[in-house]
Structure 1
Amino acid sequence: MAGEDLADNYAQAFAGRLEPGEAPALLLVDMVEAYIQPNSPLYCETAAAAVESAAQLLEAARNAGRPVIFTNVAYEPGGADGGLFYKKVPVLRLFERGSPLGAFPPALTPREGEWLVTKQYPSAFFATGLAERLHEADIDTLVITGFSTSGCVRASALDALQYGFAPFVARDACADRHAEPHEANLFDLQAKYAEVVGFEDARDLINRPFQRSATGSGMKNARTQ
């Protein structure tokens, strides 16, 4: 409606809130060099700051014994396993196997026992078996960071909701090519699909006292590629 404040307009229809569950995990979506290096076509100016924030959340998760899941993207030469997504977004050639732009930065490198989910499509859940493994490990909440906000972060947060994991998107640990799609997608995620939280709230969620075990057999030393 003309003249009506956007937040007030959305509040009339989208006023619900999600509460964190008892067993959160940290999901770092595609936090790789392609978004960090200035000479990359996928470079995001705010990526370095997001990496710094995500690194602190990663340290908190490790110290608290929370499960940690990393995702990356990798394709066979020519994108043979990339389907229509690879055709729609030709810049995905940067993620052909062995590309240095597909590597993790030093501050966000998986350790032994942490999940690495290698995917070919936007969502961390699509054709990866991630939902089944998280359910097996009794995870019910995901703190989500990554690149890019309007792409793989959004797709992963939406699928997290649809698979029954409460998604909490860490605003300061996400980045996009431009502020407008970043903010627009965070706004829409908050309205409909997730809780968008600041750094302190994300860290507090990770540091919440354990309510029950979140280290089922599906989480220990598991790697999906």
Structure 2
Amino acid sequence: MTVPEPGPHGTAFSGRLGWGSRPAVLVIDLCRAYTEPGGPFALPDPGPAVEAAAALVAAARGHGHPVLWTAVRYTRGMADGGLFARKVPALAAFAEDAPGGWGELTLAPDPGEPVVVKQYASAFFGTTLAPTLLGLGVDTLAIAGVSTSGCVRATAMDALNSGFRPQVVRQACADRSPALHENNLADLDAKYADVVDLAGALDCLQRPA
């Protein structure tokens, strides 16, 4: 077993997971509710994260790596919303009978790219994501999307728990405030994922599959 190199906090935290041999891009919940003015989860400046996510997707598509997406959907009446919907009432915007179309994805998946529908924060909880990734031979996830403190964080943690290497791309994620974004990236990088810059992620994705 290879001993990981010490991270910025010494040997206690921030060891490096690195990239495996078969990466995929996972775009989490990047939809109109977050990226358009007036949306129930509207971000203060979503443009840079959307552009960075689009760059990751283009690099993956151009070099034969899988691209996967997540979307939040609830049944009419929110019967499948559980306690999460009670805690975050604005999730009702993603019910199938809700007005506004807030759940529509900001970037368009290509035909054949899986869209994992979820009801909770983690893209792994109660979904087919893990077996889909295993079937594709994926060992590394370049993670983009929203929000850093919520669904990105929960998904990165469960990626690690499920045996995948989470690489959270700093510029491709966003949150309600810069402080939330940066604080959660720091904690993810210490314990659950590698937080990487866009340029480095693009370099890894530009290697042919």
- TM-score by length of structure 1 reads 0.86
Report the counterpart of residue 189 of structure 2 in structure 1.
190
Q: Secondary structure at the match of 2:17?
A: coil
In structure 1, runs of 5+ residues without a counterpart are 1-6, 211-225
Q: Deviations over 1:1-32 (max 9, x none)?
A: xxxxxx97x44520411121100000000000
Report the counterpart of residue 105 of structure 2 in structure 1.
104
**1:100 partner amino acid:** G
Q: Do 2:165 and 2:193's aligned partners in 1 also have CA atoms closer than 8 Å? A: yes
Q: Secondary structure at the match of 1:101?
A: coil
Report the counterpart of residue 31 of structure 2 in structure 1.
32
Alpha-carbon distance, 1:48 to partner: 1.5
Alpha-carbon distance, 1:67 to partner: 0.4
Report the counterpart of residue 126 of structure 2 in structure 1.
127
**1:104 partner amino acid:** L
Q: Secondary structure at the match of 1:79?
A: coil
User: Structure 1 residues 15 and 26, CA, compared in 2 at 3 Å: closer, same or farther?
Assistant: closer
Report the counterpart of residue 3 of structure 1 in structure 2.
none
Q: Deviations over 1:73-129 (max 9, x none)?
A: 011122111111111100101111255110012xx1111110100100001111112
**1:103 partner amino acid:** E
**1:47 partner amino acid:** P
**1:101 partner amino acid:** W
Q: Does structure 1 residue 73 correspond to structure 2 residue 69? A: no
**1:63 partner amino acid:** G
Q: How far, CA to CA, are the matches of 1:29 and 1:141 in structure 2?
A: 15
Q: Do 1:46 and 1:176's aligned partners in 2 also have CA atoms closer than 8 Å? A: no
Q: How far, CA to CA, are the matches of 1:119 and 1:41 in structure 2?
A: 18
Alpha-carbon distance, 1:190 to partner: 0.3
Q: How far, CA to CA, are the matches of 2:133 and 2:11 in structure 1?
A: 34
Q: Secondary structure at the match of 1:38?
A: coil
**2:202 partner amino acid:** R
Q: How far, CA to CA, are the matches of 1:93 and 1:47 in structure 2?
A: 22
**1:148 partner amino acid:** S
Q: Does structure 1 residue 16 correspond to structure 2 residue 9? A: no
Moved over 6 A (4+): none
**1:163 partner amino acid:** S
Q: Secondary structure at the match of 1:187?
A: helix
Q: How far, CA to CA, are the matches of 1:209 and 1:62 in structure 2?
A: 10
**1:173 partner amino acid:** A
RMSD, aligned α-carbons: 1.4
Q: Percent identity?
A: 50
Report the counterpart of residue 207 of structure 1 in structure 2.
206
In structure 2, runs of 5+ residues without a counterpart are 1-6
**1:155 partner amino acid:** A
